[in-house]
Amino acid sequence: MKTRGIQIIIFFVGLALIELILRALGFKPYQYQEFSLSSDPPYHIIADTVFGFNITPGIFKINCNGVIYEATHLTSSLRQTIPETKSSIKHGFFGCSYTYGWGVNDSETFCSLLQKESEAQIINFAKPGYGTIQGYYQLRNHINQGGLLNSANFIFCDFHSERNVLSPSYSTTILEGLSKSQKLSSKARFPVAELKEEKLNFRSTPIDQLYKFLPLREESAIINAFQTGYENFVHEPEQEDLISLLIFEEIASFCLKNNIQLNIFGITKSERTNKIINKLKEKGINAYYIPVNFKDSKFSHLPLDSHPNKAGHLSIFKQLKGSFEM
């Protein structure tokens, strides 16, 4: 009995030593990334039972980490493009917060810059937190509900591949964002794409099943190192990119059936983005690599925020202008 007690003491002393060693080596318990987000009026982003996130109609003054901008959300829950244009020719743009225009005013988004030089109507479908899968849902819903588009233009960033599968790293990012607003966490459900018997499958994941932290991860460097290490070990970026390609193939098939021109533009400067664009080209899909280095503060709000700034949107616009049928 005494020996058993000594073994237990040695075990816990050993754990404590490992904890101290890991902390000395720079490992820490899990910590949420610090950021601030507010809007006037509040709740410019809300939960959605289909898309995960949505935007609230209205005019909002938004402050994210000190980056302040004004965004107009239409009654259709889409970001306004300026000037307001009505035309029988309509071009839809689908993407994430980079396309939505997080950090810049309505008139400074690349969609508005395109609108100023086009007689066609430019519709900005993009919303914060979206991946390719949400864009596909939006396109499908818009057409099935009687909407018209002459072209569907998907703006692709390499991190969309993780969003499409709700990777652990993206899921923790979502939870960090949701921790800032109870309005978001109440009913959010997120679409996720997966391969099931080598076929693409879509399903919906409620917020309480999105991601699970191991007990004591926020208190222990050991637990955090274990969970982080395991997630990195099972992480399959090639599988994520394959799923992105399959989603784009479905989108291409949908556009072909509905007589919509599909264009895909990769805007993040990375080998991963370039590789996906090249594979799409090999499949006969209109795809263009128009990279902007958003790690350069000239084109982003760094060090405050990594989203494109006014110059970043101008750079995207100039490259799109050369590829896009105005």
Instruction: Give tens-digit pLDDT for 172-185.
Output: 888 776 665 555 56
Q: What gap in Å lies between CA 307 and CA 131, rounded to an integer?
A: 15
Q: Is the same domain home to 139 and 258?
A: yes
Q: Is the same domain home to 138 and 275?
A: yes
Q: Is the same domain home to 98 and 150?
A: yes
- Percent of the chain residues past pLDDT 90, beyond the cut: 64
Q: Is the same domain home to 179 and 290?
A: yes
Instruction: Give tens-digit pLDDT for 186-231.
Output: 678 999 999 988 889 999 999 888 888 888 888 887 877 877 787 7
Residue 250 φ/ψ, nearest 5 degrees: -65, -40
3-state secondary structure of 56: coil
Q: Is the same domain home to 285 and 159?
A: yes
Quote the pLDDT of residue 140.
Answer: 97
Instruction: Give tens-digit pLDDT for 302-318.
Output: 999 999 999 999 999 99
3-state secondary structure of 73: strand
Q: Is the same domain home to 137 and 186?
A: yes
Q: What gap in Å lies between CA 195 and CA 180, rounded to an integer?
A: 32
Quote the pLDDT of residue 149.
Answer: 96
Instruction: Give tens-digit pLDDT for 224-269.
Output: 787 778 778 788 889 999 999 999 999 999 999 999 999 999 999 9
Neighbouring residues of 187: CB distance < 8 A, sequence distance ≥ 6: 47, 49, 207
- Choice between 102 and 13, residue whose per-residue pLDDT is larger: 102
Is the N-terminal amide bond of 29 cis, ω within 30° of 0? no
Residue 197 contacts residue 236 (beta carbons within 8 Å): no
Quote the pLDDT of residue 14.
Answer: 59
Does the structure show a pLDDT above 90 at 37? no
Q: Is the same domain home to 150 and 7?
A: no
Q: Is the same domain home to 164 and 278?
A: yes
CATH value at residue 125: 3.40.50.1110
Q: Is the same domain home to 124 and 19?
A: no
pLDDT category at 17 given cuts 50, 70, 90 is low
Q: Is the same domain home to 253 and 129?
A: yes
Range of the domain at 2: 1-28
Q: What gap in Å lies between CA 259 and CA 148, rounded to an integer?
A: 10
Burial zone of 10 (CB within 10 Å; 0-12 exposed, 13-18 middle, 19+ buried): exposed
Quote the pLDDT of residue 67.
Answer: 94
How many domains does the chain divide into?
2
Q: Is the same domain home to 180 and 273?
A: yes
Instruction: Give tens-digit pLDDT for 95-141.
Output: 999 999 999 999 999 999 999 999 999 999 999 999 999 999 999 99
Quote the pLDDT of residue 294.
Answer: 96
Q: Is the same domain home to 217 and 304?
A: yes
